[in-house]
Amino acid sequence: MVGSAIVRKLQAEGYSNIIIRTSSELDLRNQAAVADFFADEQPEYVFLAAAKVGGILANNIYRAEFLYDNLMIESNIIHSSYKSGVKKLLFLGSSCIYPKLAPQPLKEEYLLSGYLEPTNEPYAIAKITGIKLCEAYRSQYGCNFISAMPTNLYGPNDNYDLQGSHVLPALIRKFHEAKLNGQSSVEVWGTGAPRREFLHADDLADACFFLMQHYNDDLFVNVGTGEDVTIRELAELVKETVGYEGDLYWNTEKPDGTPRKLMDVSRLHTLGWKHKTALRQGLEMTYQDFLANEVLYVE
């Protein structure tokens, strides 16, 4: 989702010298393969968007994979970027790096100030490691490696697998299939009380392009909207967007996760960037994309 959004942004800005690889073409966990790729292609600028990602269920079940795969991906790319003389690298992390009970909104300086949310701790630790790798390579070798921490993302090419998706694409698929099948109700996990912030992937790509041009400091930067909604409000909004008319069943035996994850984006706003896509507009765009690509997304 993020990688394709960045490619769309670069193409829209007139870039054609873009080097990409799919996961089937290059296993980023393979150190030798990554080193060979950098030696052959010699990229000048790197957007490190690749990661093993998933929602609360996948994070909690595949704990070893989420830690190992993400550690290997970021370690191999960051080290090879240093070895091959990359001019600038942007590493993308996640808002889950922050402590579960950190003050809201989440400021960059709250990193490592408390305990992480247990359900996604392996993923968070991997992303924190990526931040620290960029800081260390900058400190020891003078590399211009920067980091950005996006909030929850959605948009074209999202993952709609109900066993591994995040809450927003999962809701889109659930309500869509319930509408088609005439279901009287849809199950939603938790109480609906947690608050979440959502950023359209194209807005993130725009922010990445902006940071690659204008930001060169060691402190990572939050990327988000600075606005959040409850999961209950989100579910009602998705329900309305899809046109589902049944009821919601809140399964309170399922986990809620972190109570709130609202990003403080004042640093990015001060730099001169702000998101453009409102949540309702973004949901409508995303559902239309889902309808156009449903066969690809659900098989």
Tens digit of each residue's pLDDT (9 = 90 or more) over 190-204? 999 999 999 999 999
Regarding predicted confidence, which is higher, 266 or 165? 266
* pLDDT in the model for residue 169: 93
CATH number of the domain enclosing 229: 3.40.50.720
Does residue 255 carry a pLDDT above 90? no
Q: Cα separations (Å) of 294 from 262, 286, 299? A: 31, 11, 8
**CA atoms 57, 59, 65, 66: torsion sign:** positive
Binding-site annotation, residues for substrate: 174, 189, 196, 256
With contact defined as beta carbons under 8 Å apart, do 208 and 90 qualify? yes
Q: How far is it, in rounded angstroms, from Cα 7 to Cα 49?
A: 11
pLDDT at position 257: 76
More confident site: 276 or 22: 276
List the binding residues: 92-95, 127, 150-153, 166, 174, 189, 196, 256
CA-to-CA distance for 212 and 175, rounded, in angstroms?
38
Q: Judge whether residue 172 has pLDDT over 80.
A: yes
Per-residue pLDDT band at 219 (split at 50, 70, 90): very high
Predicted confidence at residue 57, as pLDDT, reads 77
Mean pLDDT within 105-112: 97
Nearest to 258 by CA among 63, 1, 60, 69: 60
pLDDT, residue 62, reads 87
Question: Per-residue pLDDT averaged across 274-299, rounded?
Answer: 92
Return mean pLDDT, the chain.
94
Q: What is the pLDDT of residues 37-80, one digit of tens each?
A: 999 999 999 999 999 887 777 778 889 999 999 999 999 999 99
pLDDT of residue 230 exceeding 90, the answer is yes
Q: How confident is the model at residue 1 (pLDDT cuts 50, 70, 90)?
A: very high
* From 62, 82, 98, 123, active-site residue: 123
């606005």: which residue's tokens?
227
Q: Provide the pLDDT for residue 185.
A: 96
Q: How far apart are CA 155 and CA 251, in angstroms?
A: 26
Q: Let me know if 123 is a catalytic residue.
A: yes
The domain in which residue 200 lies consists of 2-298
pLDDT-based confidence at 138, cuts 50/70/90? very high
Give the mean model confidence (pLDDT) for residues 22-44. 96
**163: pLDDT strictly greater than 90:** no
Work out whether strand 45-48 and strand 152-154 pair parallel, antiparallel, or are unpaired: unpaired
Measured in residues, the chain has a length of 299
In this prediction, residue 297 carries a pLDDT of 81
What is the pLDDT averaged over residues 265-290? Answer: 97
Annotated binding site for NADP(+): 92-95, 127, 150-153, 166
The pLDDT value recorded for residue 59 is 77
Residue 294: its pLDDT value, please? 86
Report the pLDDT averaged over residues 163-181. Answer: 91
The domain total for the chain is 1
